[in-house]
Amino acid sequence: MPYTDLPPDHPATRVEPPAEPADFDAFWEKTLRTARAAGGAPRIRPVDDCPLTTVDTYDVRFPGWNGQPVAAWLLLPSEAEGPLPAVVTYLGYSGGRGRPTDHLLYASAGYAHLVVDSRGQGHDTPDAHADGAPHWVHGFMTRGMEDPHDHYYRRLMTDCVRAVDAARALPHVDPDRIVVQGASQGGGLALAVAGLAADRVAAALPDVPFLCHIRRGAGTATEGPYHEIVDYLRHHAPGRQERVFTTLGFFDGVHFARRATAPALFSAGLMDPVCPPSTVLAAFHAYAGPKEIREWPFGDHAGGRGATAVEHLLWLRRRGLAPEPR
């Protein structure tokens, strides 16, 4: 696969950042205040039929957007005494939380691990719009494209912030050592939470993050969900692109990165056709907290593949966020 974006040594790789909506902070302050006012504590129950013996598994339901219940898995090292550092994982596009056996890395390394379902993308958290009807079809980028108040990512990003609120209240979790993590869409969501809940996040691990410099992504990605924007503008909203990109600006990782303060380890695949590296670098350069990036010169959208997990664990250890040896 060739370089689909600018090669890493090109001087234009550092692209002009996207314009930020003037009322960005007010929009998100009101959104999160309203969600938190809905209240509610997380509910947790053991998954009794899970065959794992070294990891204890729990089904968690916590209030997200508009107080609507969001599903998650909590995985703990068996016989953990805590309080443990916790990793909150957000998932890739069109994927849900799956099965507990899909998510063994962090609990095996001694962390509490909260895996958050994505509303409407998985099967355990429907996306209920204002009319109360659940929506399951794919095409999330264009839901509510004309108004940020109606956009899908307002609801999903609110869920993700509320997941950190919930994690802080869970048994065995150290509320001062919460790490947000994800790849692709999950990486973009981790960036959003790092910016929106900067006082509650100890570190961020955004891998090949989606939703960064969205306008550039729509113009350079050769695969993946940025094409939904292109199709929408081509067929449904000719001449309305400024309105569309203003809406999407409320969900752009570059703007969240400017508000984040926790240490972050980014990654980018320099042959990534889904999240072109210049979009990732735009968020990385904007990130306000201490930051590092792992660039994979021949990496596609899988980035560093299995090497990424090793990088994560070693980096967290150097940052003093590793569990105590048992």
DSSP at 50: -
Do 181 and 109 form a contact (C-beta atoms < 8 A)?
A: no
pLDDT in tens, the chain (326 residues): 567 676 666 545 667 888 899 999 999 999 999 999 998 899 999 998 888 899 999 999 999 999 999 999 999 999 888 799 999 999 999 889 999 999 999 999 999 999 999 999 988 898 876 444 444 345 899 898 889 999 999 999 999 999 999 999 998 999 999 999 999 999 999 999 999 999 999 999 999 999 999 999 999 999 999 999 998 888 876 678 889 999 999 999 999 999 999 999 999 999 999 999 999 999 999 999 999 999 999 999 999 999 999 999 999 999 999 998 76
Catalytic residue among 118, 184, 267, 278: 184
> In 10 A of CB 181, how many CB atoms?
23
Catalytic residue among 103, 151, 301, 312: 301
Query: Distance (Å, rounded) from C-alpha 326 to C-alpha 320?
Result: 16
Map out the domains of the chain as residue ranges: 22-318
Do 62 and 168 form a contact (C-beta atoms < 8 A)?
A: no
Is 0.85 surpassed by the pTM of this model?
A: yes
In the annotation, is 301 catalytic? Answer: yes
In the annotation, is 184 catalytic? Answer: yes
Architecture category of domain 22-318 in CATH: 3-Layer(aba) Sandwich (3.40)
Do 112 and 85 form a contact (C-beta atoms < 8 A)?
A: yes
Catalytic residue among 207, 213, 272, 278: 272
Dihedral (CA of 228, 164, 281, 258) sign: positive
Helix (H/G/I), strand (E/B), else coil: 144 = coil
Rg of the chain over all Cα atoms, to the nearest angstrom: 19
User: Whole-angstrom distance between the N-terminal and C-terminal Cα of the chain?
Assistant: 44
Among residues 112, 77, 119, the alpha carbon closest in space to that of 97 is found at 119
In the annotation, is 108 catalytic? Answer: no
